[in-house]
Structure 1
C-alpha cells in the first residue's frame, strides 16, 4: 500500500490564479479559424467562436499571452488597429498574415472569457518607442496621441493591460532579435523598460530568462538579468515543451519506442523542469541578498505543453499520457507556488492545442489537456502545502528513482478543506493509497477523476468525449484505489 501524508502546517505559498493562463498567436489556425472565425455559424457578432469562449471559461483561463511566441518579433501593433479593410498584412515564415484580429479585438475577446491580457512586445524588428506607444494605446487616458487613437477606434476607456513581456526567447539563436550575451539583452531591455514604464509606471514586466536554465549555453544568464534589471523586473521567464528539447527530446525516437516507453521517459523528465524551478528560485534568492532586499520576483513559464509529435500544421493530438504530463506541470506549479506565479499553456486552439475547431464549420472538441487544467482549478487561491509521497517508484534513465504517483496539495484553513492532486503514472496497475493529514482526521473525500486504460486514447471529432472528467466519491477512511493512467483531484474535508 502507498502512503501519502499532507501537512497543512508546512506552507509553500498561495496558488496564484495566473498559473491558469494560455497563449494565442498567429500561427497556423490558432487565431484565424480558431479563436476568430467569422465564416463559422458558431461565431458571435464579433467573429469569435462561441465554443472556444465557453470552453475557455470552463478552463478558468486567467491570462492570455499575445501576439507571440516567435510571431512577436515580426508583429507591429499599428498594423492591427483601425479599419480592418485598411490593415496591412504581416509577412511571417513566407506567407502574408491577416491583422483583422489586433489589439482591440484581443482585449475584447479577453474580456469575454474573463482573462487578463498579457502582451509580448516586439524586440526583434520593433523599437522601444513602439513598445511605449503600445502601452500608451492600451492604458493611456484621453489627451495623448496613442490613447486618442484608441478612443477614435471605439474604446474610450483605458484597457489597463497589466502584464507585458519584453521579447520572446531572446536568448535563443533561432529567434529574430537574438542577443548573444545577457549583457546585450540587458542594454536593450533596459531601454524598453524605461520607455514602457514612462507610458504607465504601474505595469508588470516579464523579462526573458535563459530559454531553459538547464542544458542551455549561457552560463549565469538569469543571474545577470536579475541583477542588472532588478529595479524593473517582476517576472523572469522560462519555456518548456516536454519531449521537444534537450535531455527530454523524443522527437526522433517516440515512434520507434512506442507509447509506453515514451510515457515513462517523459514522466521521468518532468523532474528536469522542477530542477529548473529550484535553480531559478536560488538565483532569485541570491540576487535579493546582493541587493539587500527581499523583492518578490516570479517565474513565468509562459509557454509549456507536451510537444514531440511534429505535425506540419502544429495540430498535435494529445493522448491520455500527454494529458497526465500536463497534470505533472500543474503539480509542479503547486509544489513551487512561492515562485511559480505565472504560466501559459501553449496554445489554445488548433496549434499544440487545448481545443480543436473545424475552421469555417461547426466541428469542435476539447483535448484532454484542457480538462486537466479545469480540474486543477480546485487549488486556485488556496495555500499550497507540503506532501510526503511514500509511493512506488520506477528506475529512470537519468533520474535513478521516479515516483509512479505524482502529488501536490493545497489547503483552505477557513473551510478546513485539503485539495490533494494525485497522478497514477502506472499504465497497467491499480494502486491503493492510504491518505493521512498531519494532526487531523478525515471526514469525507470526494472529487474528480480523469484517465483511460488505453494509453493512446484521445478525443477526436468522431469521438469528442473519449477523455472526460468523472465525479469520484469514497468514504472518510482515507484509503482509496487509483485506476491506471489516472488523475485524481480530491476534496478532503476535515473533522
Structure 2
C-alpha cells in the first residue's frame, strides 16, 4: 500500500540504499521479495533489492515511472550467517528520480530441488491494458550459409515458384502471421552495396564478411516481393560499415520515391542505420563519439527522401554507447536496435543441458530494464522504442568469422571453417529449452509492451531459426510452435500480472519456475494467459486470480510439451513436439501445468 514505506530521492544523481542486517542460517535457501514504485528514475540500474555481501543476489530492477511492482529472487546463503539487505537506488552508478520500497521480506524457503513447483499469477484487471505491437512477432534473414540461397530462395527446386521462392516456406511462415522481416544482415549488411543486387546485369561479389561468393540473384526487388507473398513488412538494414549516408539515401529513394508519374517502387517503411557498429568484428566499427553524428547525418538524408520512415539505429544496453547516440540522433529515431544471444556459440558450438539453457530465461527482462533506463535518462522514452531485431537463445556457429578483410585465395583453412557452419543444422540442439526460453522472451516483451516495439527472431529460417528448410521439405522446430501460439492465440492488449513462483535452481543460480504474461481484448471479456513451467521433470500447480479472485471452471487451452525436456523435431520425427488443444479444469483457481511446458489458457468473463 505504501502506507509505511521507505523512499530514496535524488535530483543530481545518487548511488544509495536503505540497509538492514539480518541473521540467517548458513547453506539455506531464502526468498528476498518486496514492492517497488518509481517516478522518473533515470541512469544506472534503477531501483532493486540486493544482498550487499552476496553481490550476485539481486532482484530485477525497476526504472522510469512504474506503479507498485513486486520483485523477488531466491538464493542459497552459502557460508554466510549475516546478510546486508539493500533497498538499492542507482546500483553501480548514479540515478536520478525517486523510488519507494515496501513490504520487503526475507523468508526461509524450501530447497527448490525438493519442492513441488507452485505459483500464483494475479492478473491486474483494473490496470489499463497496453496494446502491444504485432511487430513483436518478426523475423530476420541474412545472406549467411543457407538462409537465403537454399532456404527461402531456391530457383529450380520443384518446391519453388517461377521466381525461385520456396512456396512451402512461404506457407509455413504464414502460419506464424509473420509481421516484419529484417534483411540483408546482420554483419553481411556492413559490406553489402544494394546496387549490386538490382537490375538485369548483376554480377557475383565476394562477401568478405562470411568468406563466400554471393550471386546477387536475391536483392531488394526479390526481398520485397517475397515479403508481400509472406504478408509481412519488409525491413531493410543499410550499410553503415563501408557504405555512406548518400548510399543509404539512394536506397530509400530507389524503394520509396515516385518516378515519372509512376507510384513508388516498393514503399518500404522500416530502415535501420547500421548493424552492430559498436563491435570490432564489424566492418566500419565506430566509437560512441563518431556513431551518433553518423546516424544523425544518415537519418537526415534518408528522411529528406521520405519523412514517413520508421528509423532504427544500432545500439546496445551499454550506457556509454547508447546515450551518446540518443543525444546526437534520438530526435530522428523511432527505435534503438538491441541484439542478444544468450549462449555464445560463435567459435564453439556449445550444447549445454536443459537446465543450463533455461537458467538464461530471465536475461531478456534484465536487458529490457537496462535499455528502458537509458531511454528514460535520454528523455526519449515513450517516443523511441526498443527493437530486439536480432534475438535467440543460441548464437550462430561461425568459427573464424565474421571478417573485416579478405584472406588469401585459395584459403583451405577458411573453407574448413565454413563447413563447420553445418553444425547449426543439428536438429537435436533445438529442444524444449529453446521453446521455453523463447516463450519467456516473448513474455518479457509483452510485460514491457509500452517500451518494446519490435522483436525479430534470428534467423527465421535455417541456422538457429524456428523453420528448418531442406531440399525435400521443412521441419517446424520447437520454437516454431511457440511463435505460432503467441501470434495466433493471444488477445491484442497486454495486461499487468504478478507472478509469485517457487524457484528452479541449477549450479548455484535460481530463476522462477513459472513465468507468465496476460493479454485481453479491449472489452476485457476474453483473456489469454501464457504460462511457462520451466521445471524439467515436475508439474507445476499454478493458481490464477482475476480481479483478486480465484478462477473457477473449465477453460480452453493450447499446450506445448515434449515427452522429454530434450525433445526435438527432425526430418524423421517432424511432429514429436507439437501443440495440442485441450480443456483444463480449474478448481480453487489452480491449474496443473505439465513439466517443461507452455500453456496458453483462454478465459471468458462477463
TM-score by length of 2: 0.72
Whether the 8 Å contact between 1:122 and 1:167 is mirrored in structure 2 is yes
Q: Does 1:175 align with 2:282?
A: yes
Higher relative contact order (CA closer than 8 Å, sequence separation 6+) = 1
**1:188 is aligned to 2:294:** yes
Q: Which residue of 2 aligns with 1:274?
A: 365
Gaps of 5+ in 2: 1-117, 398-419
> 1:73-472 maps to which residues of 2 (within 5 A)?
73-83=190-200, 86-92=202-208, 93-143=210-260, 157-179=264-286, 181-210=287-316, 212-213=317-318, 219-244=319-344, 255=351, 259=353, 263-288=354-379, 295-307=382-394, 310=397, 312-313=421-422, 314-315=424-425, 317=427, 318-358=430-470, 361-378=471-488, 382-395=492-505, 401-414=510-523, 416-438=525-547, 444-472=554-582
Q: 1:253 to 1:207 in 2, by over 3 A?
A: closer
The equivalent of 1:23 in structure 2 is 140
Distance 1:230 1:486 in 2: 40
1:3 to partner: Cα distance: 2.1
Tell me by how many angstroms 1:443 deviates. Answer: 6.1
Length, aligned pairs only: 461
Q: List, as ranges, runs of 4+ consecutive aligned residues in structure 1 with deviation greater than 3 Å.
A: 85-88, 251-255, 308-311, 378-381, 395-399, 439-444, 475-478
How many Å separate the matches in 2 of 1:284 and 1:78? 35
Between Structure 1 and Structure 2, whose CA radius of gyration is higher?
2
User: d(CA) in 2 for partners of 1:59 and 1:111?
Assistant: 15
For residue 596 of structure 2, the aligned residue among 482, 485, 491 is 485
Whole-Å separation in 2 of the counterparts to 1:6 and 1:307: 32
| Cα distance, 1:439–1:117 mapped onto 2, change above 3 Å | same
After alignment, is 64-73 or 405-414 more displaced? 405-414
- 1:39 Cα shift? 2.3
Q: For the Cα contact (< 8 Å) 1:409–1:419, is it kept in 2?
A: yes
Q: TM-score, normalised by structure 1?
A: 0.88
> For 2:563 and 2:502, how far apart are their aligned partners in 1?
19
Query: Larger % of helix: which?
Result: 1
In structure 1, the residue corresponding to 2:592 is in which secondary structure?
strand
RMSD: 2.3
Give the conservation status (yes or no) of the 8 Å contact 2:432–2:568. yes
Counterpart for residue 39 of structure 1: 156
Instruction: Verify the 8 A CA contact 1:14 1:337 in the aligned structure 2.
Output: yes
Distance across 2 between alignment mates of 1:239 and 1:114: 24
How many angstroms apart in 1 are the aligned matches of 2:374 and 2:307?
26
SS at match of 2:425: coil
Matched position secondary structure for 1:10: coil
CA deviation after TM superposition for structure 1 residue 98, in Å: 1.4
For 2:382 and 2:391, locate their aligned partners in 1 and report how far apart those are by CA, in whole Å: 26
Match of 1:216 in 2: none
Instruction: Give the distance between the partners of 1:278 and 1:294, measured in 2 at CA.
Output: 12
Shift of 1:451: 1.4
CA distance in 2, matches of 1:423, 1:187: 43
Structure 1's unaligned 5+ residue stretches are 214-218
CA contact (8 A) 1:335 1:384 kept: yes
Shift of 1:30: 0.3
96-105 or 371-380, larger mean C-alpha shift: 371-380
